[in-house]
Structure 1
Amino acid sequence: MRYNLDFKNSFDTTMLFWIERFVRNKLTSLSNRQVSDKNKLAFIIQQLVKGTKSIEELEVFVKEARNIGLNGINTYFNPLLKLYNYTSNLGLASMKEIDEELLSDFLASETSSLSDASKKNHRIALLSLFSYIDKQNENEDGSSYLFKIELKNWGGLSGKSGTKLPSFMNQDEVNRFLEAIDKYEFTDNIAYRNRLIIKIILYTGIRVSEMLNLKLKDIFNEKDVYMLQIRGKGNKPRVVMIKKSIIENDLQNWLNIRVCNSDILVCNQKGDRLTQAYVSRIVENILISAGIRKEKNGAHMLRHSFATLLYSKHHDLILVQEALGHADINTSRIYTHFDKDRLRKTTEIF
């Protein structure tokens, strides 16, 4: 069913309606292979069919969808949440007042401090939303209002922010961090689980989402190592290894008390999937206890630390690409910036 572009009573409610419709479309079109609770996803979609009362309520449903494994939804929704708040302050009367210039102004003001990758995600989210509206709105005569948003001339990607080098720990900081993991006092019976999560991410470089989606059947005992079968972005499979001695104690103790509602390896105390935000809070708390300060203290920093040390030790970009599951080797090249031996040669030129 198609709708008149401005059929709601006010601009804010109309904007909310179109973002809500777009999010609902994405919930049904994004890959649901890693969704841990299909019934929960069906419930969320049904609630969006009924409609939400506010952007905050819609945000709650999006977070719930992400928490059950639909990770890509945030890439689309977060920029649109910013757009909703941005346009709400402009006093617009009609969706037709939105054009390339307004969206370029929005991107310039809202993404100035972000990396190029985040800026691209914002642009993609806007293009996707207005392309969707182009196809779904209908005038009384049966025609459609077309925004035809392209944002080809937006120069934000060449701004002063540029591509940021990732935060990472050096070898000394990693050693201090590992000591802090074992000393940190966790509450209740979650110590074995939390140490297991952090050690696997740090020693293999897998993404937090990949860790939280890891299933019992994905772990294989191979002599002195565990082989982990990972499903990466785009459901691309790869295998990583970790020495058995590193996680054996935490793994076995966790399995003895583990009570999960599905076959995922780790879960919260209700038996459901853990959130990435929770894992990042754990990492940040341990970093603080170890006296380590980084620009970004989240769990993703562990992946950058693994990749940086891996390249520094072996100088093998293909190995880094395969270990991290990068589709393009150029994504892995950022870790060559931390090759101190190579950079040291520049000091000897004279």
Structure 2
Amino acid sequence: MNYKENDFIKAFTQYLEAERGYSSHTVENYRRVVEQFALFLQGRKKNLLEVTPEEISSFLVHLKVQNGLSRVSQQNRLSALRTFYRFLKKRELVPFNPAQEVGGIKTEKKLPAFLTLSEIDKLLSFLKKKYLENKCFLNARNWAVFELFYASGLRVSELADLKRENVDLHNRLVRVHGKGKRERIVPFNESARQALQEYQVFRGLFEDKEGYFFVNRRGGKLSTRGIRKIFERVLKEAGILEKKVSPHTLRHTFATHFLAGGGELRVVQEMLGHASLSTTQIYTHIDWERMRRVYDLTHPHSGRRGN
């Protein structure tokens, strides 16, 4: 990779952060993909400005053969290259976007994992009991983290970036800055408010360095990595080992349980911060038997109304 290519990649990452508002995690992933592609081209005595759609296809096949890359991972890398070449084309560094001419990689939709009602009840009851038995900062914070995740469906990065000024305990609302710097207001339930109020007492003991709501034991921002470590530890302690659970699992659990309780898909879309309703529609896998019963009872031609 030559000096000029490094400049292109650096400018690209700055563009993703400053203009597109991508998370640091996504920016880092996109940077790695472009660097990997540049090295692949080097072996073919080409550079990033001399690319055909066929070379991008060959790169994806190479990753599949050499690294056993799944179709989802291939699609993610194709998306990164499409974004990169869109950036170069806007700056008139390439005549067209070669990645745009590569057909999408068909993927099988995988239903998101989620916890059952009994599992989430077990988890939250465990955290509350642990706090009541030992009212300390860590127990209060961990209980509040899990309650807010389940009550609001926030992304892990959104919870980590949450500022104190954006948490309204009185009205049970949080102001969230999501993907693409889109802002939204998300409500939470009374159980979450109780946990957040208890945590707020301990949060007030720390110097307010940067204003983040959730902090570590030193008063610094609680990172996404820190949150994931908390998940691993708490789930083990709570005895929920049957499923692989992450912060994102609670996001899925929130959406699934909300819809199962009769919530509207559009409301879930707003709360999750999805730009498109089609993204939210994956959650319609929930409780098909319940949906069938509702249909039979309400549709005028079902033959069961009034029975």
State TM-score, norm by structure 1.
0.67
Write the distance in 2 (CA, Å) between the matches of 1:17 and 1:271: 42
Write the distance in 2 (CA, Å) between the matches of 1:171 and 1:315: 16
Q: Does residue 292 of structure 1 match 2:244?
A: no
Q: Which amino acid aligns with 2:112?
A: P
Q: Does residue 122 of structure 1 match 2:81?
A: no
- Please tell me whether the aligned partners of residues 160 and 214 of structure 2 are also in contact (alpha carbons under 8 angstroms): yes
Write the distance in 1 (CA, Å) between the matches of 2:208 and 2:11: 28
Q: Please report how far the alpha carbon of residue 82 of structure 1 lies from its aligned counterpart in structure 2 after TM superposition.
A: 4.5
Write the distance in 2 (CA, Å) between the matches of 1:250 and 1:32: 35
Q: How many residues align?
A: 283
Q: Please report how far the alpha carbon of residue 209 of structure 1 lies from its aligned counterpart in structure 2 after TM superposition.
A: 1.5
Match of 1:22 in 2: 9
Residues 269 and 99 of structure 1: CA distance in aligned 2, closer, same or farther (over 3 Å): farther
Write the distance in 2 (CA, Å) between the matches of 1:123 and 1:170: 35
The CA deviation string for residues 284-338 of structure 1, in whole angstroms up to 9 with x for no partner, is 232233233335x321111011000000111421221222122222221111111
Residues 74 and 314 of structure 1: CA distance in aligned 2, closer, same or farther (over 3 Å): farther
**Secondary structure of the equivalent of 2:175?**
strand
The CA deviation string for residues 176-230 of structure 1, in whole angstroms up to 9 with x for no partner, is 22234346799x95333333222211221111111112111112232xx522122
State TM-score, norm by structure 2.
0.75
Q: Please report how far the alpha carbon of residue 20 of structure 1 lies from its aligned counterpart in structure 2 after TM superposition.
A: 5.4
- Please tell me whether the aligned partners of residues 20 and 180 of structure 2 are also in contact (alpha carbons under 8 angstroms): no
Match of 1:107 in 2: 60
More divergent stretch after superposition (327-336 vs 176-185): 176-185
Write the distance in 1 (CA, Å) between the matches of 2:31 and 2:113: 25
**Secondary structure of the equivalent of 1:257?**
coil
Q: Does residue 228 of structure 1 match 2:174?
A: yes
Q: Which amino acid aligns with 1:113?
A: S
**Which of 94, 101, 107 is the equivalent residue of 2:46?**
94
Q: Does residue 165 of structure 1 match 2:111?
A: yes
Match of 2:299 in 1: none
Q: Does residue 275 of structure 1 match 2:219?
A: no
Structure 2, gaps ≥5 residues long? 297-301, 303-307
Residues 28 and 258 of structure 1: CA distance in aligned 2, closer, same or farther (over 3 Å): farther
Match of 2:30 in 1: 76
Q: Does residue 195 of structure 1 match 2:143?
A: yes
Write the distance in 2 (CA, Å) between the matches of 1:28 and 1:84: 19
Match of 1:149 in 2: 98
Q: Which amino acid aligns with 2:55?
A: L
Match of 1:238 in 2: 184
More divergent stretch after superposition (24-33 vs 97-106): 24-33
Match of 2:264 in 1: 316
Q: Please report how far the alpha carbon of residue 249 of structure 1 lies from its aligned counterpart in structure 2 after TM superposition.
A: 1.5
- Please tell me whether the aligned partners of residues 180 and 286 of structure 1 are also in contact (alpha carbons under 8 angstroms): no
Q: Which amino acid aligns with 1:333?
A: Q
Q: Does residue 176 of structure 1 match 2:128?
A: no
Structure 1, gaps ≥5 residues long? 1-12, 35-65, 138-143
Residues 21 and 293 of structure 1: CA distance in aligned 2, closer, same or farther (over 3 Å): farther
Match of 1:52 in 2: none
Residues 198 and 91 of structure 1: CA distance in aligned 2, closer, same or farther (over 3 Å): same
Residues 197 and 109 of structure 1: CA distance in aligned 2, closer, same or farther (over 3 Å): farther
More divergent stretch after superposition (336-345 vs 164-173): 336-345
Residues 261 and 21 of structure 1: CA distance in aligned 2, closer, same or farther (over 3 Å): farther
- Please tell me whether the aligned partners of residues 173 and 292 of structure 1 are also in contact (alpha carbons under 8 angstroms): no
- Please tell me whether the aligned partners of residues 177 and 184 of structure 2 are also in contact (alpha carbons under 8 angstroms): yes
Residues 32 and 259 of structure 1: CA distance in aligned 2, closer, same or farther (over 3 Å): farther
Q: Does residue 252 of structure 1 match 2:201?
A: yes
Q: Please report how far the alpha carbon of residue 98 of structure 1 lies from its aligned counterpart in structure 2 after TM superposition.
A: 4.9
Write the distance in 2 (CA, Å) between the matches of 1:95 and 1:332: 39
**Secondary structure of the equivalent of 2:143?**
helix
Write the distance in 1 (CA, Å) between the matches of 2:63 and 2:224: 24
Q: Report percent identity of matched pairs.
A: 24
